[in-house]
Amino acid sequence: MHAFITGAFDTEVGELPGSSCMGLHAQAAIGAVADAGLELSDIDGVLCAYSFTEPHLMLASVFCEYMGIHPGYSAAIQAGGASACIMIMQAAALVASGQCEHVLVVTGDNRLTGMSRDGAVAALAEVGHPQFERPFGISVPASYALVARHYMHETGVTSEQLAAIAVEHRRHAGRHPKAHKREPITVDQVLASKTIATPLHMLDCCLISDGGAALVVSSRAAARDCRGAPIEILGAGQGHTHEHIVAAPSLADFGCKASSKAAFERAGVGCADIDVAEIYDSFTITLAVELESIGFFERGEAGAAAERGDLGLGGRLPCNTHGGLLSYGHSGAAGGMFHAVEAVHQLRGRAGARQVDGARLAFVHGDGGILSAHCSLVLGAH
């Protein structure tokens, strides 16, 4: 796609007292630009997402003002958990079309210390339809629980199998020095954790964390001026089927089918070619349906695959090697960006104890809403 990731950075993640949304943006931005071997003045495009703690109609303008930078292109993109991948896809289009040379994509939020956990849960519940969902007490976990109950009924997948996904994520996070939650958990602990909305337990659900992450996306020509090994954006695609769960055309197949198909076709590769996958895991059920809908596993097989260790380091498809939203951290739009940054670490061979041997091709996926908006990327070591 004539676009390359030339810089990547993730801030500390977890409970970061004294952090702020814009402060985390700044830290991530400076880190990513320095990683690329560039100066902030080299950045001629800026893409931001959204914030819960410092919400603004024009977050990218707020960020540029905060940094004292005046890029030739600046915009904010809001698509929930799909934001990070969509921002990268958009940045790729900007550099490939010649409109920009170096686009900074930057996300961050202090969701944990900047608002109460209750506040974050309440704010997220507002994605429910104001007339046809919210009056009935819907929440994001309850919406995913509706998907999970249906999926378990159709496929026979058990709560134990979904729990195995959470357990593997914690194992991954244990290898990442920055991860928010690193202490190992067991299937029994997942099942014994508080019920949020049946069949989902607390440990089936993602974390709420402070943190930030950013990438620099550069054109083919401009990438030559950068310091590190560029990572090529080989393919990208999106899929959109609904916003509200009451309007979802299916509770089993979602837009990830179309988004991954487009990304794979563009890259000229398929599921079997992927060395490492970083896929949105807001809930254990999210990852299960996405892994199957995308085609990495047959319908109803993702849970059993997790039990077998297929998603672990050394497994058939090492997945969410940083620990994902379930264990590494979830800081709003930065949550999805952590997946992309981890893919870059893996493809550069810089993932330390969690390095997938010889990782050359990575699949990154984000979904927003209730499996509503999807964006897939195929990234390659160059």
Partner 1 sequence: MNRPLPRPTAETKPFWEGCANGVLRFQSCALCGTVQRIPRSLCSGCHGDALAWHESSGYGRVLSHTTVHRAPTPAFRDEVPYVIALIDMDEGFRLMANVAGGPAAGIGIGSRVEIGFREVDGTMLPHAQVCP
Q: By CB under 8 A, name the one of 2, 56, 134, 175 that touches partner 1.
A: 134
**What per-residue string of b and e applies to 224-242 under the rule 16 or more CB within 10 Å gives b?**
eebebbbbbbbbbbbbbbb
- The CB-of-245 to partner 1 minimum distance in angstroms stands at 7
- Contact pattern for partner 1 over residues 101 through 120, marking x by CB under 8 A: -----------------x--
Amino acid code (one letter) for 202: M
| Cβ nearer to partner 1, comparing 153 with 227 | 153
* 216 to 245: interface string for partner 1, x by CB under 8 A: ----------------------------xx
Q: Does 360 bind partner 1 (CB under 8 A)?
A: no
Long-range CB contacts (within 8 A, 24+) of 353-360: 353/175, 353/176, 354/172, 354/175, 354/176, 354/313, 354/321, 354/322, 356/275, 356/276, 356/313, 356/318, 356/321, 358/275, 359/275, 359/276, 360/275
Q: Is 125 in the site for partner 1 (CB under 8 A)?
A: yes
- Minimum distance, C-beta of residue 148 to partner 1, in the bound complex (Å): 8
- Exposure letters 257-284 (e unless 16+ CB within 10 A, then b): bbbbbbbbebbebeeeebbbbbbbbbbb
- Cβ atoms of 40 and 65 within 8 Å: the answer is no
- Asked if 274 contacts 317 with a C-beta cutoff of 8 angstroms, the reply is yes
Q: Using the rule CB under 8 A, give the single segment among 17-25, 51-59, 191-199, 233-241 that binds partner 1.
A: 191-199
Give the β-pairing of 276-279 and 361-368: parallel
Instruction: Report the residue from 121, 269, 271, 304 that binds partner 1 according to the rule CB under 8 A.
Output: 121
Q: Kindly state whether residue 132 participates in binding partner 1, applying the rule CB under 8 A.
A: yes
74 to 93, contacts with partner 1 by CB under 8 A? none
User: Does 175 sit near partner 1 (CB under 8 A)?
Assistant: no
Determine if 247 is a binding residue for partner 1 (CB under 8 A). Answer: yes
C-alpha 69/C-alpha 352 separation (Å) is: 34
Is 150 an interacting residue with respect to partner 1 (CB under 8 A)? yes
Work out whether 206 is an interface residue with partner 1 (CB under 8 A).
no
Is residue 166 a contact residue for partner 1 (CB under 8 A)? no
Closest CA to 304 of 153, 150, 163, 169: 163
The one segment of 100-108, 196-204, 333-341, 343-351 that binds partner 1 by CB under 8 A: 196-204
Which residues of this chain interact with partner 1, rule CB under 8 A? 118, 121-122, 124-125, 129-139, 141-142, 145-150, 153, 194-200, 244-247, 251
